[in-house]
Structure 1
Amino acid sequence: MLTNLFITAGAEWTALGLTATDWVALITLGGSCIGLLIGAIKLIDDLRHAIADLNDTIKDMNKANEKRDRDYQKLSEHLAKHDSQFVKDEERIAELFRLIRNGGSNNGKD
């Protein structure tokens, strides 16, 4: 009986056809894969949050650009009104200078 114990201890342990060293290697590989998967999930979650923040920033910038474009359009319209009034005023000033040069006569123009 003692002989059987030494024979068993001397033989390498196997389960499902794999030795103890094979099982340790499989467990290590499985643990590494699980660790990498957890790290990838955390990285993807961080990237998702960063992309969401970036999307919010882009939406805010688009709103600001739309407001700027509306303000620019209003300013352009206001400037166009002033330009037309400026042209009218320039014509009136030119007419007054003609009247002054002609001694108050507008040569039949009224």
Structure 2
Amino acid sequence: MTQPEHEPDYRFTLANERTYLAYLRTALACYAGGLSAVQFLEVDGERTLSKVIGVVLVLTGMVATLGAWQRWRRNTAAMRQDAPLPASRLPLLFAVTLGLVGLAGLLFSLLR
């Protein structure tokens, strides 16, 4: 049986919203980086690596956008029920994905 809902302390609600907005800023940076990679990166006339980097970054931005909303919604529900906040794998996903994109960028720099 779930506990009755109540209005959480506004400070926690605002902190949850700030986290949500931070995820959206991350998504926006991924979109911008992905589009820039496709537009401007080139190795010896070949654009395959830049397209891969761009697609991965834009897809990561899409996951960040959807994941941010889901995480905000789940955290809000947990706070209203005095339940523990649910764990999220999004930070790990971002760290691994952006680390791999960074390695690809390093490879790109070395090949230029």
Of structures 1 and 2, the larger Rg is shown by 1
Q: TM-score range by the shorter chain?
A: 0.3 to 0.5
TM-score by structure 2 length? Answer: 0.33
Instruction: Normalising by structure 1, report the TM-score.
Output: 0.34
